[in-house]
Structure 1
């Protein structure tokens, strides 16, 4: 998507900015998806631009930007918010931009969204909060941000009865599980199948983090099984597990 081509098309037919494709996506959705900031700047300056226009899945440009790899959509998010984008908008699946940013491990995006009042307390249609997404990818920095800055509840359950602790342990993320436990996660909560979080640990997985991103966790995790790491670290931290 080259800027001169887009400029030429808009000059010849300004209404082309509002032509939807089969997925109900406008040029703004595609410009954001491909992280073409100059084209985005051009499109948002067009007459009657709607920063909250949705595609067929209910995704707004802000949500797409929050999902870009390595937080590369942050500049676009800043622009969209200046143009009045609603950070509280939800997709057809009930997810807000924080769900998407957390899933992609975009810590700077998460911080920017929370600073602009995007709620960390919104559940999607699966009953998941952004903290469930952060736990699933094992992001300690995002978990801390959602808890401390976003005031996310730590023991909220999704449609399967999973807390963020269940999610972190099921995915083999030892440091994330320890952070959640230290933040008040209840190890005695059971999911819809009656399982404790510690019972979901994938014993055959190995935690490959060379260093946990927490001052308290300096132990090398190389070649240590997740359950062993969680149990040993919890004991050292004075956390009682069942």
Structure 2
């Protein structure tokens, strides 16, 4: 019980108790800026419980930061994107200028949420700390539909990350032949080398993957070897 008393706003946000949240914010708005023992702010709990009214109350606080991370590095937007039926809450957080969660959503192959993010202004042309665009993540997990969606929405095709990897490098390194062929079909440059001077095809985990990609490219009229 002690820990509940220590973080009453966190508890109320987690349990969806709107009147309690209202009362606490009225009496002490600074409670919204407190971290609990999990390194979470009340907004993280509100996002995970998918309570629109509570998210709105917290988002309307003057000190609100849409990109604040919890102890595990999750922002409210990332949490909301991983909760079912969260479109209303997602849109609300995005409207508060949250940085795109598109990288995260691309790595989870969540097409529906990716579409919502893009429709609400999330850019496909933003790098993360590793120098990666969302398309790098989509390629690394082998999601052809996600790669296609990102390219349709102005994603670059051949960007290099901090290691010099293009999306094609990531797709081939992870053994995703279908994704590699899809990227090649779109015109991916297979002559680019990474920081270790490796071509994307050099990273194929085995002969089967390599052969699959070469044959797929050939069917598209692309000559990769030679």
Indicate how the Cα distance of structure 1 residues 53 and 159 shifts in structure 2: closer, same or farther if over 3 A, else same.
Answer: closer
1:113 is aligned to 2:107 = no
Alignment match of 1:172 (pick from 162, 165, 175): 175
Of residues 65, 77, 95 in structure 1, which corresponds to 2:80?
65
Instruction: Kindly state the Cα deviation for residue 177 of structure 1 after the two structures are TM-superposed.
Output: 0.6
Q: Superposed, which structure 2 residues align to 1:119-130 within 5 Å?
A: 119-130=123-134
Structure 1 spans left out of the alignment, 5+ residues? 90-95, 205-224
Cα deviation per residue 1:104-160 (whole Å; 9 max; x = unaligned)? 1111121121122211111122111111011111111110111112x1111110111
**Is the CA contact (8 Å cut-off) linking 2:67 and 2:75 kept in structure 1?**
yes
* Count of equivalent residues: 206
Q: Which of 1 and 2 has greater Rg?
A: 2
Q: What's 2:161 paired with?
A: 158
Specify the alignment match of 1:41 in structure 2.
Answer: 53
Deviation at 1:25, TM superposition (A): 2.6
**Aligned equivalent of 1:241:** 224
Partner of 1:3: 16
Choose 40-49 or 188-197, whichever is displaced more.
40-49
- 1:142-221 matches, cutoff 5 A: 142-149=146-153, 151-203=154-206
Q: Check 1:188–1:8 CA distance in 2 against 1; reply closer, same or farther (3 A cut).
A: same
Contact 2:41 2:70 in 1 (8 A): no
SS in 1 for 2:127: coil
Offset, 1:13: 6.0
* Counterparts of 2:137 and 2:107, CA distance in 1: 5
Distance 1:238 1:53, change over 3 A: closer
TM-score, scaled to structure 1: 0.75
Distance of 1:11 and 1:191 partners within structure 2: 56
TM-score by length of 2: 0.80
CA-atom RMSD in angstroms: 2.5
> Using the alignment, how far apart are the partners of 1:30 and 1:52 within structure 2?
13
| Deviation (angstroms), 1:72 | 5.0
User: After TM superposition, where is structure 1 displaced by more than 4 Å over at least 4 residues in a row?
Assistant: 56-59
Comparing 153-162 and 232-241, the one that deviates more: 232-241
Which of 39, 45, 60 is 1:30 aligned to? 45
Following superposition, the deviation at residue 175 of structure 1 comes to 1.0
